[in-house]
């Protein structure tokens, strides 16, 4: 079943570290089969306080998303980010209609 990785930034502490992360994370996620569906700052915030960057990535299944997160290439991206941002990351299954 298709799964979605949802990454919501709750704080950005260092724009340079975030830029280094983005440069490495995109290729790492695509190499692991991820497809970016949405990314950027919200157009509207209807509930909640955060108006920071959100990313939605589709994977073949939840295991593929977790494998992408644990991959050496993505771990390198995380090392570049370091303490440059705080985030919430969730992997959720898609729905069958």
Q: Which two tokens stand for residue 19?
A: 């830029």
Domains in the chain with CATH codes: 3-43+50-93 (3.30.70.100)
Indicate the pTM of the whole model: 0.91
On whether the CB atoms of residues 85 and 12 are closer than 8 A, the answer is: yes
Q: Which residues of 71-91 are buried (b: 16+ CB within 10 A; e: fewer)?
A: eeebeebeebbeebbebeeeb
Is 3 in contact with 72 (CB distance < 8 Å)? no
pLDDT average, residue stretch 53-67: 97
* Of residues 87, 95, 94, the one with CA closest to residue 39: 87
Q: Examine the pLDDT at 58 and tell me if it is beyond 80.
A: yes
Q: Which two tokens stand for residue 90?
A: 């969730």
In the chain, the largest separation of any two C-alpha atoms, in whole Å, equals 42
pLDDT of residue 1: 93
Query: What's the CA angle centered on 75, arms 31 and 92, to 5 degrees?
Result: 70
- What pLDDT, in 10s, does the model give residues 5-54? 999 999 999 999 999 999 999 999 999 999 999 999 999 989 987 778 99
């Amino acid at each position: 079943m298709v799964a979605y990785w949802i990454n919501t930034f709750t704080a950005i502490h260092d724009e340079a570290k975030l830029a280094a992360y983005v440069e490495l994370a995109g290729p790492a996620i695509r190499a692991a089969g991820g497809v970016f569906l949405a990314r950027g700052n919200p157009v509207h915030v209807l509930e909640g306080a955060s108006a920071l960057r959100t990313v939605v990535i589709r994977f073949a299944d939840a295991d593929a998303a977790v494998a992408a997160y644990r991959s050496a290439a993505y771990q390198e991206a995380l090392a570049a980010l370091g303490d440059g941002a705080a985030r919430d990351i969730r992997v959720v299954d898609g729905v069958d209609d």
